[in-house]
């Protein structure tokens, strides 16, 4: 059924960000916040986008829905192609159908993503009616109950009448996942979907997301700063630093042979990596804000391997294998 909606395809099914650059307005001046980012989302695969706060991860994710344009984000260059068709060439009406219809988003904060003054039922059926206008009242309701059951929420009838404040954080996140699935999208953007939840609830939400993703063959972008979540869910990983992708690789390679000094430093400062009796590894300093990135390697000021050669711009190049790329001239240095 999903296939039939893709009428004639000239390119393989894919949501592709290609060399996208974005600027944000800071005190009236445009400052570049995302530089030349390319990402490929494929059906059935989960791509993790990892990095510290302020790296531009969320801005990049939101660009897939062209959401930033309403919040003072400007596109400087690049494109986003959905099965070969540019999102930026789409007329508004079609774009609205794509948002939530083909590409849906799950946000971090289940407490604020639901409107407190409307019942779960009215918020869920609103989304269903928007994307499936041909369904009648009964069918919409049946669809809502089916979606709730699909995310492990029993007693859907009572839930449809309930208001968000009556639900726990885990239940709200389940409702939001149900909403995202309401129009059978092909791609899901999940921005830190478990960060605000309790540990025991996190595990269950992760299991639910993976189950939904596999069953529906979804292509997923998972934005996170948590390597545990990456280990748990992702097939491929892109590491972002200061608005750039600095490393991309299949998930096992990221854990077994991290190439970029930033990736290695990030992994070394996890408490799990602590060596008895020694201080935790740290990355000195902090992510420089947009506008203070310099022309060379953006990580160089915090990097233990940096030298005079790092002042020149660095490209994202294959390392060891074609599918493992890193943006570093000293790539692999210090790796045993």
Number of residues interacting with another protein: please give it, by CB under 8 A.
37
| 53 forms part of the interface with another protein (CB under 8 A) | yes
Q: Within its chain, how far is the Cα of 294 from the centroid? A: 26
| 33 forms part of the interface with another protein (CB under 8 A) | no
- Footprint (CB under 8 A) of another protein, residues 221-240: 225-232, 234
| 280 forms part of the interface with another protein (CB under 8 A) | yes
Minimum CB separation of residue 87 from another protein in Å reads 30
Q: Within its chain, how far is the Cα of 288 from the centroid? A: 21
- Cα gap 234→36, rounded to integer Å: 23
Cβ proximity to another protein, 1 vs 199, nearer residue: 199
| 200 forms part of the interface with another protein (CB under 8 A) | yes
| 89 forms part of the interface with another protein (CB under 8 A) | no
- Cα gap 279→264, rounded to integer Å: 17
Q: Within its chain, how far is the Cα of 129 from the centroid? A: 26
| 85 forms part of the interface with another protein (CB under 8 A) | no
DSSP string, 238-261: EEEETTEEEEEEEHHHHHHS--SH
Of 132-140, 141-149, 263-271, 311-319: span binding another protein (CB under 8 A): 263-271
| 323 forms part of the interface with another protein (CB under 8 A) | no
Minimum CB separation of residue 289 from another protein in Å reads 9
Minimum CB separation of residue 169 from another protein in Å reads 8
Of 8-16, 69-77, 202-210, 213-221: span binding another protein (CB under 8 A): 202-210
| 202 forms part of the interface with another protein (CB under 8 A) | yes
Applying CB under 8 A, among 251, 259, 300, 314 the residue interacting with another protein is 251
259: phi then psi, degrees, rounded to nearest 5: -100, -45
Of 128-136, 264-272, 309-317, 324-332: span binding another protein (CB under 8 A): 264-272
Q: Which secondary structure element, helix H or strand E, spans residue 81, and what is its range?
A: strand 73-82
Binding track over 139-178 against another protein, x by CB under 8 A: -----------------------------xx---------
10 Å Cβ neighbour count for 333? 11
Helix (H, G, I), strand (E, B) or coil at 186: coil
CB 185 within 8 A of CB 218: yes
CB 240 within 8 A of CB 55: yes
DSSP summary character for residue 275: P
DSSP summary character for residue 281: P
Cβ proximity to another protein, 129 vs 210, nearer residue: 210
| 241 forms part of the interface with another protein (CB under 8 A) | no
CB 298 within 8 A of CB 55: no
Compute the CA torsion angle 258, 106, 30, 315 (nearest 10 deg).
20
Binding residues for another protein, rule: CB under 8 A, are: 52-53, 168-169, 198-204, 207, 225-232, 234, 251-252, 255, 265-266, 269-272, 274, 279-283, 286
């Amino acid at each position: 059924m999903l296939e039939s909606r893709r009428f004639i395809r000239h390119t393989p099914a894919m949501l592709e960000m290609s060399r996208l650059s974005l600027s944000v307005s800071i005190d009236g001046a445009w400052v570049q916040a995302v530089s030349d980012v390319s990402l490929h989302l494929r059906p059935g695969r989960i791509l993790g986008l990892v990095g510290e706060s302020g790296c531009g991860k969320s801005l990049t994710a939101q660009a897939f829905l062209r959401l930033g344009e309403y919040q003072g984000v400007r596109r400087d260059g690049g494109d986003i192609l959905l099965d070969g068709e540019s999102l930026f060439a789409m007329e508004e009406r079609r774009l609205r159908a794509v948002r939530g219809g083909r590409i849906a988003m799950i946000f971090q904060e289940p407490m604020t993503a639901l409107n407190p003054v409307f019942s779960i039922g009215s918020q869920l059926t609103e989304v269903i009616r928007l994307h499936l206008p041909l369904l009648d009242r009964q069918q919409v309701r049946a669809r809502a109950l089916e979606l709730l059951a699909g995310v492990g929420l029993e007693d859907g009838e009572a839930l449809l009448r309930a208001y968000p404040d009556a639900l726990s954080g885990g239940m709200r996140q389940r409702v939001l996942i149900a909403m995202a699935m309401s129009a059978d999208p092909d791609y899901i953007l999940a921005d830190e979907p478990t960060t605000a939840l309790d540990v025991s609830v996190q595990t269950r939400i992760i299991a639910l997301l993976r189950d939904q993703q596999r069953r529906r063959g979804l292509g997923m972008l998972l934005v996170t700063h948590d390597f545990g979540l990456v280990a748990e869910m992702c097939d491929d990983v892109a590491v972002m630093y200061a608005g750039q992708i600095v490393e991309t690789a299949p998930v096992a390679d990221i854990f077994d042979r991290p190439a970029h000094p930033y990736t290695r430093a990030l992994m070394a400062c996890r408490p799990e990596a602590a060596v008895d009796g020694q201080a935790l590894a740290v990355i000195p300093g902090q992510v420089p804000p947009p506008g203070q990135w310099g022309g060379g390697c953006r990580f160089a000021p915090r990097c233990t391997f940096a030298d005079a050669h790092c002042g020149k711009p660095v490209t994202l190049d294959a390392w060891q294998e074609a599918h493992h790329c890193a943006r570093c001239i000293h790539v692999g240095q210090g790796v045993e």
